[in-house]
Amino acid sequence: QQPVQSPQAVILREGEDAVINCSSSKALYSVHWYRQKHGEAPVFLMILLKGGEQKGHEKISASFNEKKQQSSLYLTASQLSYSGTYFCGTIPPGNMLTFGGGTRLMVKP
């Protein structure tokens, strides 16, 4: 079963912050985050393996709440280059990376 992402789309001005949420109805072993720009392949951002783990990539960070089976991606002081579709991928029991429906992020000047 696919994890659920919210919001489905968000429009920001440069410099604004955004949060993308990912939740699953199943217990999770790990959460993966990828970004796909229009016409390109998805590109890896980060993996969170433990409950409560937080990671960062430049001004993009994420947290993983294992108990709630949720992860959030935080984009701080967004840049034009952050535009794209963000996917969370989850590994439930069965070891199969399953992606959510994606969140379209558009950053405007």
Partner 1 sequence: KAGVTQTPRYLIKTRGQQVTLSCSPISGHRSVSWYQQTPGQGLQFLFEYFSETQRNKGNFPGRFSGRQFSNSRSEMNVSTLELGDSALYLCASSLMTDSMNTEAFFGQGTRLTVV
Contacts with partner 1 by CB under 8 A lie at 2, 29-30, 32, 34, 40-44, 47, 49, 87, 89, 91, 94-102
For residues 21 and 25, give the distance between their C-alpha atoms in angstroms, rounded to a whole number: 14
Q: Tell the smallest beta-carbon distance from residue 98 to partner 1 (Å).
A: 6
Residue whose CB is less far from partner 1, 5 or 70: 5
- The tokens for 36 are 């796909």
Q: Tell the smallest beta-carbon distance from residue 95 to partner 1 (Å).
A: 6
Q: Is 64 exposed, middle or buried (0-12, 13-18, 19+ CB in 10 A)?
A: buried
Q: Tell the smallest beta-carbon distance from residue 4 to partner 1 (Å).
A: 11
Angle at 76 between CA 43 and CA 99, to 5 degrees: 35
Residue whose CB is less far from partner 1, 36 or 65: 36
